[in-house]
Amino acid sequence: MRTRTTTATAAAALTAAVALLLTACGGGSDSDDSGKDEIAGADTGASASASPSPSASEDGVDRPEIKLPKDIENVFEGGATGDAKKDAVLADNERRVNSIDEAIVVDAEKHPALEFYSKDDALMSAATYIKSFYDNNRSFTGKTRYYDREVTFAKDGSATVTYCMDSTDTYPKDRKTGKVDRSVKASPNDYVFYNTRLEKNAEGVWQTTSVSSTEAAERCM
């Protein structure tokens, strides 16, 4: 019961959203709150990804840790393709998805993974989408499924990842009270098709640079 599409806004507003997300998206104040980097129920262990991605020790990249609460489950279907390059792209696509969810549900002072895996238009749209949750005092809980993930490469070295999202098993959550609204019914809009472009940076990270999405996508139902 959530979607990742965003409405177009002015460039200045997008820039402001990015600045907010990369510094204090959680609305942290100047108070001396030692617990402001965590939320109740947050898992302080590894990322909650359902399909483990390569660790920093395996690919040599020093990656920011992504921590999701225990009530958030992202299931990435498909597994390894057998092509190391494609697997690396899919792994960073997965990390980007988790970085966006972390920025939504974890009230931390900073969310370094967001900028680590997104840039350009993709970073702007992600920041606007995340900020909309804070502006409306809401979060979410539940399981989101990602499937039919495919990777293709262009002559310029960039990659395209297309995939489907099924959020029928997620529910809106009040950010302040923690109350979950399970009365919200699933709808066709919970099935979204994504087309994303990624570029490999100097550190070896496949960063998403642009994203387009289609709600109520028949190909995902």
pLDDT digits (tens, 9 = 90+) for 45-56: 333 344 444 444
If one compares 43 and 82, the residue with the highest pLDDT of the two is 82
Q: What is the pLDDT of residue 72?
A: 97
Q: What is the pLDDT of residue 16?
A: 52
Residue 5 burial class via C-beta count within 10 angstroms: exposed 0-12, middle 13-18, buried 19 and up: middle
pLDDT at 22 > cutoff 60:
no
pTM score, whole prediction: 0.79
Q: pLDDT for 99-132, tens place per residue?
A: 999 999 998 888 999 999 999 999 999 999 999 9
Alpha helices by DSSP H, 25-168: 56-59, 84-105, 112-117, 120-135
Q: Cα separation of 22 and 103, whole Å?
A: 9
Residue 64, amino acid: P
In eight-state DSSP terms, residue 180 is: B
Q: What is the pLDDT of residue 129?
A: 92
Residue 65, amino acid: E
Q: pLDDT for 144-172, tens place per residue?
A: 999 999 999 999 999 999 999 999 999 99
Q: What is the pLDDT of residue 78?
A: 86
Lowest mean pLDDT among 4-18, 82-96, 165-179: 4-18
Distances 155 to 113, 119, 123, 160, 170 between C-alpha atoms, Å:
28, 21, 24, 11, 38
- Mean pLDDT value across residues 65-69: 95
Q: What is the pLDDT of residue 35?
A: 36
**Structural contact between residues 42 and 67, judged by C-beta atoms closer than 8 angstroms:** yes
Q: What is the pLDDT of residue 23?
A: 53
Q: What is the pLDDT of residue 28?
A: 40
CB atoms within 10 A of CB 170: 21
Long-range contacts of 117-121 (CB under 8 A, 24+ apart): 117/92, 117/205, 117/207, 117/208, 118/207, 118/208, 118/209, 119/207, 119/208, 119/209, 120/209, 120/210, 121/209, 121/210, 121/211
Q: Report the candidate in 220, 136, 126 with the shortest Cα–Cα distance to residue 173.
A: 136
Q: pLDDT for 165-219, tens place per residue?
A: 999 999 999 999 999 999 999 999 999 999 999 999 999 999 999 999 999 999 9
Query: What does the chain come to in residues?
Result: 221
If one compares 17 and 140, the residue with the highest pLDDT of the two is 140
